[in-house]
């Protein structure tokens, strides 16, 4: 039996104490991250500097006793590798050249050419696989096709993903072809991460909650299934975590429908509901509100331990319901970890 607790949970084992990691654990809430980013020059330069990207991935492990490290990268590197222009506006987030027509789609690079751009990311994984402590699991990741498509179509993040929904309604052939291109690229990207040493991969569908009914099945569930099926055909033992954020009732059955080994859940559903409806199918991950990492106090400890107790009868990886925010207090991460391990 592996000594890596996250791999044990992903294999379906119920542990006395759930393993812990944290979305965006390498990020702006840590002063050492901000210093390294400044050294890199800008966010994208940090992503593509293998040594510095490995450094910021390792930084939270020096502070905290996490059970996993997650590769430092960004979900929008695939659009850039496919030929989209990508840049970041300080204080506002990513901007991309838009793909809304057949001509724009035709101008994208072939999927097999993405590695030329993404090779530094694979080198980061190789560095981490050498330098991580033996007991620490290395997680790779990518954005899910729907979420990535929303950025490629709108050219930026949007509150309601309206431009993507509009293209889906008005030009379904172009929309479907873009989704297929992203899906194929994601399979190749995650495969290369696994080849470089990632032990688990996670698929982030941050905007899955804006899909409803049959669209959720077609554009959140089906691409995730396609990616997982391809990865498991190539790497039969690789565990996959899926995160269809704000999926609500669609969390139910998501693991069985896609082949995911674990379903990560956001904080819009209670841990008790997850225990009753999602955990019977296998491992779940989540789901403390990120705001507790800002406010701390007894509420942080109480809610952390309530989640642990609610999910103690099945396989569980403790995490936040979304990424830690830049205004979080680093000391609250320590309090959270202590609360999980003393629950």
**Residues with active-site annotation:** 24, 28, 37, 74, 151
262-264 and 283-288 as β-strands: parallel, antiparallel, unpaired?
A: parallel
**DSSP, res 141:** E
Please give the Cα distance from 179 to 186 (Å, whole number): 10
From the list 1, 72, 22, 3, the residue with the least C-alpha distance to 317 is 22
If residue 324 lies in a helix (H) or strand (E), which one and from where to where?
Answer: none
Alpha carbon distance, N-terminus to C-terminus of the chain: 25
- The answer to whether the beta carbons of residues 38 and 45 sit under 8 Å apart is no
Count the Cβ atoms, other than its own, within 10 Å of residue 298: 8
DSSP track, 62-86: HHS--SEEE----TTHHHHHTT--E
Q: At what angle do helices 297-310 and 330-341 cross, to 10 degrees?
A: 40
From the list 262, 115, 112, 132, the residue with the least C-alpha distance to 197 is 132
- Cα separations in angstroms, 175 against 107, 137, 165, 326: 15, 36, 9, 34
Which tokens sit at 15?
Answer: 């542990």
Which tokens sit at 79?
Answer: 């659009």
Query: Which residues contact residue 267 at a Cβ distance below 8 angstroms, ignoring those fewer than 6 apart?
Result: 286, 287, 288, 289, 290, 320, 321, 322
Please give the Cα distance from 88 to 95 (Å, whole number): 6
- The answer to whether the beta carbons of residues 200 and 262 sit under 8 Å apart is no
């Amino acid at each position: 039996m592996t000594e890596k607790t996250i791999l044990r949970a992903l294999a379906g084992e119920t542990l006395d104490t759930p393993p812990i990691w944290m979305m965006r654990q390498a990020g702006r809430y840590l002063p050492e991250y901000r210093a390294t980013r400044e050294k890199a020059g800008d966010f994208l330069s940090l992503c593509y500097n293998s040594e510095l990207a490995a450094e910021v991935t390792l930084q939270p492990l020096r502070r905290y006793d996490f059970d996993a490290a997650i590769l430092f990268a960004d979900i929008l590197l695939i659009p850039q590798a496919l030929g989209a222009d990508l840049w970041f506006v300080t204080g506002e987030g990513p901007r991309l050249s838009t793909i809304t027509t057949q001509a724009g789609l035709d101008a994208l690079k072939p999927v097999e050419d993405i590695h030329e751009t993404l090779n530094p990311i694979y080198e980061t994984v190789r560095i981490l696989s050498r330098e991580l402590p033996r007991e620490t699991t290395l997680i790779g990741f990518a954005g899910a096709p729907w979420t990535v498509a929303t950025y490629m179509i709108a050219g930026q993040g949007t509150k309601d993903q309206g431009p993507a929904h509009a293209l889906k309604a008005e030009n379904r052939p172009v929309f479907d072809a873009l989704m297929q291109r992203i899906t194929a690229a994601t399979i190749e990207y995650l495969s290369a991460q696994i080849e470089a040493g990632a032990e688990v991969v996670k698929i982030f569908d941050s905007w899955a909650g804006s899909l409803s009914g049959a669209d959720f099945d077609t554009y959140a569930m089906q691409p995730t299934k396609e990616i997982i099926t391809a990865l498991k055909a190539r790497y039969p033992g690789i565990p996959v975590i899926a995160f269809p954020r704000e999926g609500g009732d669609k969390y139910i059955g998501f693991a069985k429908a896609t082949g995911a080994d674990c379903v990560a859940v956001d904080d819009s559903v209670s841990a008790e509901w997850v225990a009753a409806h999602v955990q019977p199918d296998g491992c779940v991950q989540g789901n403390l509100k990120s705001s507790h990492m800002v406010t701390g106090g007894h509420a942080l400890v109480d809610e952390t331990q309530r989640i642990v107790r609610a999910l103690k009868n099945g396989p569980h990886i403790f995490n936040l319901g979304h990424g830690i925010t830049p205004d979080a207090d680093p000391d609250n991460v320590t309090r959270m970890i202590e609360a999980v391990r003393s629950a």
